[in-house]
Amino acid sequence: MYPAAFQYHAPTSVKDALKLLGKLKDDAKLLAGGHSLIPMMKLRLAQPKHLIDLRKVKGLTGIKVDAKAVTLGAMTTHWEVESSKAVKSKLPVLSEVGAIIGDPAVRNKGTVGGSLAHADPAADWPAAVLALGADFVCEGPKGKRTVKVDDWFRGLMSTAVKENEVLISIKIPVWPARSGAAYMKFPHPASRFAVVGVCAAVTLDTKGVCTRAGVGVTGAGTKAVRAKGVEAGLVGKKLDAAAIEAAAQKAAEGVDVQADLQGSVEYKAHLCRVFAKRAITEAVKRAGG
Ligand SMILES: Cc1cc2nc3c(=O)[nH]c(=O)nc-3n(C[C@H](O)[C@H](O)[C@H](O)COP(=O)(O)OP(=O)(O)OC[C@H]3O[C@@H](n4cnc5c(N)ncnc54)[C@H](O)[C@@H]3O)c2cc1C
C-alpha cells in the first residue's frame, strides 16, 4: 500500500510551520514520527495534499527536568523518554510508559507530542498525563496558550489542539515526597497498543493515608479518561488491600467502554478494574506505603 500523492514541506521554525498551516489550511497535516499518520495515509484513511514535517523545526525536541516538572518537547521520541536518566530520577513512570510502547522502531521514531495530538484511544501516554496532571503548550498565529490535561482529550482521536496550531511541549508536574506512580497495561499481542492501560499516582502522608490520587484509563473507550471515582475512593484512606480493591471497582465508571475484536464491554470493564488495582497497588508500594 502506498499513500495518495502529496507535497512535502520541511520548515525549520515554528513560525514557518504556522505560516504553512495558515496558507494550506485543511489540505495540510503536520508530520512528526509518522508512525500513526503514514499508516493512515497508506490505508487512504487520510489523504492530505501537503505534509508539513516537524523534524527540522527548532525548539520542539528535548527534555527539561527541574524540581517541579518534566517538560517534554513535542518531538521527543518515546525512546528518548524511556532512556533519559533525568526522567528516571524524577518521574520514573514516564520512562516506564515510553519503554512499553510498540517495538524499538516505533519507540525510536514515534513522538510523545505526535501520540498526544493523535489521541489514539489505545495509546499509552494519555493514561499517564491524565494521572499526573499535565499541561500542554500549543502555539498558533496569535501566540502560545496552555491547555490543562482535563480539557485536552475531546473524543475519538480529537484533542484541544486547533488545526492552525502546533503542539510545542508537554509539562508534567513532579509529585511531592512520599508519592509513587505506576502504569500497567494489557497489551494487544501484535501491536502492543493498550487493550486497557491504567496509570495511577498517589501521595501518602506519614501515617500512610492518601492525600492525593490521580488515575488515568486508556484503551477501553473512545478516549482516555480520568477515573475520578477511583481517585475519590483513594483520597483520605489508608491504602491497604481492601481499600485499593474497593476504589478499583470504580475504574470503568465514566469510561464509554467499547466492545471490539479484543473483547466485550463486560470483559474490558473487568480489565479496567484489574489493571487499576495492579497500578494502584504498585504506586502505593513506590510511595512507601
Ligand atoms: C506497529 C505500531 C505499534 C504501535 N504501538 C503503540 C503502543 O503500544 N502504544 C502507543 O501508545 N502507541 C503505539 N503506536 C503509535 C506510536 O506511538 C505513534 O508514534 C504515535 O501514536 C504517533 O506519534 P508520531 O510521532 O508517529 O506522530 P505522527 O504519526 O507523525 O502524527 C500523528 C498525528 O498527530 C499530529 N501531530 C503530530 N505532531 C504534532 C504536533 N506537534 N502538533 C500538532 N499535531 C501534531 C499529526 O498531524 C497527525 O495527525 C504504534 C504504532 C505502530 C505503527
φ, ψ of residue 172 in degrees (nearest 5): -115, 120
- Where does the chain show beta strands of DSSP type E? 7-9, 28-31, 50-53, 63-65, 69-73, 135-140, 143-148, 153-155, 158-159, 166-173, 179-187, 194-204, 210-218, 225-226
CA-125 nearest atom, ligand 1: 11
- Cβ of 121 less than 6 Å from ligand 1: no
**What is the model's pLDDT at position 289?**
82
Considering only CA atoms, give the Rg of the chain: 19
Tens of pLDDT, residue by residue over 63-92, are: 999 999 999 999 999 999 999 999 999 999
Tens of pLDDT, residue by residue over 238-261, are: 999 999 999 999 999 999 999 999
- Where does 32-163 show beta strands of DSSP type E? 50-53, 63-65, 69-73, 135-140, 143-148, 153-155, 158-159
Q: Whose CA is nearest to atom 41 of ligand 1?
A: 167
Side chain identity, residue 176: P
pLDDT tens-place values along the chain, 289 residues long: 889 999 999 999 999 999 999 999 999 999 999 999 999 999 999 999 999 999 999 999 999 999 999 999 999 999 999 999 999 999 999 999 999 999 999 999 999 999 999 999 999 999 999 999 999 999 999 999 999 999 999 999 999 999 999 999 999 999 999 999 999 999 999 989 999 999 999 999 999 999 999 999 999 999 999 999 999 999 999 999 999 999 999 999 999 999 999 999 999 999 999 999 999 999 999 999 8
- Measure CA 193 to chain center: 12
Strand partners, 112: none
- Cβ of 55 less than 6 Å from ligand 1: no
For residue 270, CA distances in Å to 93, 125, 250, 277 come to: 24, 21, 10, 11
| Beta-sheet pairing, 50-53 with 28-31 | parallel
Question: CA 69 to CA 183: how far, in whole Å?
Answer: 19
Specify the DSSP class assigned to residue 68: S
**What is the model's pLDDT at position 1?**
80
- Measure CA 289 to chain center: 26
CA-36 nearest atom, ligand 1: 29
Question: CA 279 to CA 259: how far, in whole Å?
Answer: 23
- Cβ of 48 less than 6 Å from ligand 1: no
**What is the model's pLDDT at position 148?**
98
Question: CA 287 to CA 180: how far, in whole Å?
Answer: 4
Grid cell listed for 25: 489550511
Count CB-CB contacts under 10 A for residue 206. Answer: 7
Measured in angstroms, how far is the CA atom of residue 200 from the centroid of ligand 1? 23
Residue entry with cell 499509552: 124
- Specify the 3-state DSSP secondary structure of 185: strand
Residue entry with cell 521527543: 76
Measured in angstroms, how far is the CA atom of residue 112 from the centroid of ligand 1? 8
Residue entry with cell 498525563: 129
Give the strands of the sheet with 28-31, arranged side by side: 7-9, 50-53, 28-31
